[in-house]
Structure 1
Amino acid sequence: MLKFLMMMVFMMPLCLKKKMFWMVQMMLMMMMFLFMNLTIFNESYCNLSYMISCDIMSFGLIMLSIWICLLMMMASENLLKMSYYVEFFMFNLIFLLIMLFLTFSVMNLFMFYLFFEGSLIPTLMLIIGWGYQPERIQAGMYLLFYTLFASLPLLMGILYLYTMKYNNNIYFLKFMNLNMYLLYFCMIMAFLVKMPMYFVHLWLPKAHVEAPVSGSMILAGIMLKLGGYGLMRVLVLMENLSLKLNFIWVSLSLIGGFYISLMCFCQIDMKSLIAYSSVAHMSLVIGGIMTMNYWGYLGSYILMIGHGLCSSGMFCLANINYERLHSRSLYINKGMMNFMPSMSMWWFLLLSSNMAAPPSLNLMGEINLINSLVGWSWVSMIMLILVSFFSAGYSLYLFSYTQHGKYYTGMYSFYSGVSREYLLLMLHWLPLNLLVLKVDYVMMWL
């Protein structure tokens, strides 16, 4: 694992040279293929080096991080055209990738906290440095304070755990079974805010709307998954207590998911709609993890990977329209089928994956999650029906609004999609729908 870390560290000076945009992209692609060929054993941690290691859970999420970072560069070619601090942008991106790589691979709980928080800084830089509106400062503050406020108790919890057990290794957490209410709330609140759970989700739509396309992609693709990953690792620590108290979070997220699905129908900003749909999907993930059963964990993991690819692709689509029309409003982005008929197909493919149509990973994850939640309590079926139905509803609403209708007459210049954009969308959609064939690989990891 250290070899990949070194590779990223040595890519950083490369970013600061001129005309290295495509070179860094190629290097990321090479790293992705090298990482894919790692040997992963199902039993436990492997590829250990200097307290950095990898099991199946971190393997999938690290692979997703490298892939999304590669696609972020591909989507941000506009910065290169305008030569808008592109060297610093690449540096920032690689720094973010290092932080994410370390978050998913360290075995020490304190180090995990450190990198979990550290990944916030480059994201903040992306939003404040390359965002579009002046409100981006406020969005950055929301992001920072929501996350920091909730994660200070986590730090206290980790330190308390260390003073009590003299051990912070994630692997050894499963041998402890603590019965402390306050510790339980301290340990999981940070992850619930990061997910984000309904009630503490307000930073997400704000951050998404103000972020540049790369910021939105990394937020939707990886940042929300940090919360899920943390929950999966930490809940093992307090199993008995979790079984007693988790009904709070399951009911909160299911009702919140339904309410957010309704909110999606009120949005007129494309990015805002996609951001709210992320919250609705993540509510299912929280529900699945909190049921504490095998199906729930599997479903959450699969849906996290699927949502990372799907949501990121949808932000790319919204950005492709934004680059042409300079507006994200659904009133102006109408009748796109007249201008970009082939882009319309990509809208359809990614939105169909978003509403969990076969053969996407989202469907596989949702089947597992529905299985786990209905097994946990049949009453949850009511909310699951509504969330699933409305997720199809707002996906169709977004598609029909953007692709059909009378187009905006004020469009005086327009150009069709370029090959880079089609490649970018294909690289989102193909893994999302082909990984279903390798889902047995995911099913073995617990």
Structure 2
Amino acid sequence: MMKLLLFICFLIPLCSYWWFFTSCLLFLSFYLLLIPVSSYFSSLSYGFGMDLVSYCMVSLSIWIGALMIMASFSIKSNNIYCNEFMLIILLMMFILIITFTTSNLFMFYLYFESIMIPTLFLIFGWGYQPERFMAGLYLLFYTLFASFPLLISIFYLYFSSGTLFYFLISVDFNIILYLSLVLAFLFKMPMAFVHFWLPSAHVEAPVSGSMILAGVLLKLGGYGLYRVFIFNNLFYFNFVWIILSLFGCMMVGFLCLTQVDIKSMIAYSSVAHMGLVISGFMTLSYYGLLGSLILMIGHGLCSSGLFALANIIYERSHSRSLLINKGFITFMPTMSMFWFMFSVNNMSSPPSLNLLGEIFLINSILSWDSLTMLFLFLSSFLSCCYSVYLYSITQHGNLSGGVSYEFGGSVREFILLIYHWLPLNFLFLSLDLFTFWL
């Protein structure tokens, strides 16, 4: 694992070379494909290691990291603190790799919280509007509110079991310890009803912030649940999260249909998808755990691509409003094709990873209780509704007068979208990688 961290460190002098830097991160992503991965915690060195979940999350982090640099070309073209921006991206990559590969619970907590710092810098430094300060504070305090009990419970675990290595912790759980360990990750994912920081953070963040937030940072919560449930032996209260998440999925689906801000709608759709992930995970069945992992990867690529598309429109119309951004099919027909592909992937069409994950998750949730059929039906139907609504309202209708029509799309933008779309729709071919897990 140290080779990944050293690679990131050695990229620091290259911060001023935009495309070479991006190419190095893409190279690191392809290099990860050559690392043999197993279902157990392996490749151990200096307390770091990887199993399949870690491997998938590290790969996703580096891939999204390269793409968010590619999407933020306006920072380079306008020279808005370009080198500092690259340094913050590097810092995020460094922290994420440590978070996903450490085998120590306290180290995980430390870097799980540390990722807030570069995220806040991104929002404060390169955000669009003055409201970004309030959005950043929402993000900070929501996360900290749930994280302090987690810190105290980690100390308790250490004094009780004498170790913080995930697989050696052994302690009798009670309801307070259970809530302390689980709530921090549910806030981070976020679960519906504690999601209020997410839309404001997405709306105020630059495109790079939105991409890393939707693509990777929400997955930190899911990854934390995977790690905590290794030693958690109190499962009686999981039904609460399943019910809340399924109900939240349905309610957030209705909320999506009322949005007039493109980024806000995509952010709310993320909450709906994460609700399904939480529900499936909390069943703790084989299909539930497997589907959660697959849907997290699929959602990371899909929502990141949608935010990149929203930014492409924003750079032309200088607005995120659905009331202004209309009729783009007439002057960006190729981009309209990408809008369609990502919209249908967002509602889990074949052959995307989203469909694969949802099949596993719906299977596991229905096996848990068949009465959940109603919620699943409604949330899937609403997912289809707001995805079609997002596509049709942006692509059809009359063009707004304020849109600048210089060009339909650059090669950089098409490469960016293809790099999102290809893994999202072709990773199902390596399903054996996931199914041999557990």
How far off is 1:178 after superposition? 2.4
* Partner Cα distance (1:2, 1:412) in 2: 47
Residue pairs, 1:144-159, within 5 angstroms: 144-159=140-155
Residue in 2 that maps onto 1:345: 337
Q: Out of 417, 430, 433, which is 2:409 matched to?
A: 417
Give the whole-Å Cα distance in 1 for the aligned partners of 2:155 and 2:171.
17
Q: Check the 8 A contact 1:12/1:95 in 2, yes or no.
A: no
Within 5 Å, give how 1:114-129 maps onto structure 2: 114-129=110-125
CA–CA distance in structure 1, aligned partners of residues 308 and 194 of structure 2? 26
Moved more, 44-53 or 217-226: 44-53
Q: Aligned partners of 1:65, 1:410: CA distance in 2, in Å?
A: 36
> Which of 19, 25, 28 is the equivalent residue of 1:28?
25
Provide the secondary structure at the position in 2 that maps to 1:172. Answer: coil
Deviations 1:396-415 (A, max 9, x none): 00000000011113335442
Partner of 2:281: 289
After superposition, the C-alpha distances for 1:251-282 in whole angstroms (9 at most, x for unaligned) are 00100110000000000000000000000000
Alignment partners' CA distance in 1, 2:373 and 2:201: 32
Q: Which amino acid aligns with 1:138?
A: M
Q: How far, CA to CA, are the matches of 1:369 and 1:416 in structure 2? A: 39
AA in 1 matched with 2:174: M
Q: Secondary structure at the match of 2:37?
A: coil
Instruction: Provide the secondary structure at the position in 2 that maps to 1:280.
Output: helix
Distance in 2, Cα, partners of 1:41 & 1:298 = 15
Task: Tell me the distance in 2 between the aligned counterparts of 1:313 and 1:147.
Answer: 25
Q: Counterparts of 2:62 and 2:154 in 1: how far apart (Å)?
A: 28
Please state whether the residue corresponding to 1:107 is helix, strand or coil. coil
Per-residue CA deviations over 1:31-53 (Å, capped at 9, x if unaligned) read: 111111101123x1111110010
1:6-25 maps to which residues of 2 (within 5 A)?
6-15=6-15, 18=16, 20-25=17-22
Which of 186, 193, 196 matches 1:199? 193
For 1:343, give the aligned amino acid: M
Letter in 2 for 1:8: I
Q: Is the 8 A contact 2:166 2:230 kept in 1?
A: no
SS of the residue corresponding to residue 365 of structure 2 reads helix
1:302–1:362 Cα contact (<8 Å) kept: yes
Indicate whether 1:268 and 2:260 are aligned: yes
**CA deviation digits over 1:38-77, x for unaligned, max 9?**
01123x1111110010001100110000000000010011
| Matching of residues 133-152 of structure 1 within 5 Å | 133-152=129-148
Give the whole-Å Cα distance in 2 for the aligned partners of 1:50 and 1:343. 46
Alignment check: 8 A CA contact 2:48 2:101 kept: yes
Deviation at 1:440, TM superposition (A): 1.4
Structure 1 distance, partners of 2:401, 2:312, is 19
1:94 equivalent among 90, 94, 106: 90
Task: Return closer, same or farther for 1:41/1:324 CA change in 2, 3 Å cut-off.
Answer: same
Matches within 5 A, 1:342-421: 342-411=334-403, 413-421=405-413
In structure 2, give the amino acid aligned to 1:158.
I
Q: By how many angstroms is 1:236 displaced? A: 2.7
2:57 aligned residue: 61
Structure 1 counterpart of 2:294: 302
Contact 1:80–1:86 (CA under 8 A) maintained in structure 2: yes
Percent pairwise identity: 53
User: What's the TM-score, normalizing by structure 1?
Assistant: 0.97
Q: Which letter maps to 1:10? A: F
CA deviation profile, 1:50-105 (whole Å, cap 9, x unmatched) = 00100011001100000000000100111000010010000000000010001000
Q: What does the per-residue CA deviation read over 1:149-181, in whole Å, with 9 as the maximum and x for residues that have no partner? A: 1001001011100001101001224xx362311
* Structure 1 residue 133: Cα displacement: 0.5
1:47 aligned counterpart, secondary structure: strand
Indicate the SS of the match to 1:48. strand
Tell me the CA shift for residue 384 of structure 1: 0.4
State which drifts further: 186-195 or 228-237: 228-237
Structure 2 regions of 5+ residues with no counterpart?
none
Residue identity opposite 1:33 in structure 2: F
Question: Which deviations, in whole Å up to 9, do the C-alpha atoms of 1:345-387 show, x marking residues without a partner?
Answer: 0001111110000000000000000000000011111100000
Structure 1 counterpart of 2:101, which letter?
A: S
Contact 1:57–1:445 at 8 Å: present in 2 too? Answer: no
1:106 alignment partner AA: T
Match of 1:107 in 2: 103
Structure-2 residue corresponding to 1:186? 180
2:37 paired residue number: 40
Instruction: Give the distance between the partners of 1:411 and 1:29, measured in 2 at CA.
Output: 33
User: How many aligned positions are there?
Assistant: 438
Equivalence for 1:210: 204
Deviations 1:405-443 (A, max 9, x none): 111133354421111101100000000000000011111
2:391 and 2:24 map into 1 onto residues whose CA distance is 35
Offset of residue 9 of structure 1: 1.2
1:257 aligns with 2:249: yes
**What secondary structure is seen at the aligned counterpart in 2 of 1:146?**
helix
1:52 aligned residue (48, 54, 77): 48
Q: Which amino acid aligns with 1:424?
A: L
- TM-score, normalisation: structure 2: 0.99
Measure the CA separation in 2 of the matches of 1:84 and 1:375: 52
Letter of the 2:226 partner, please give it: M
2:317/2:402 contact within 8 Å kept? no
SS of the residue corresponding to residue 231 of structure 2 reads: helix
Whether the 8 Å contact between 2:261 and 2:322 is mirrored in structure 1 is yes
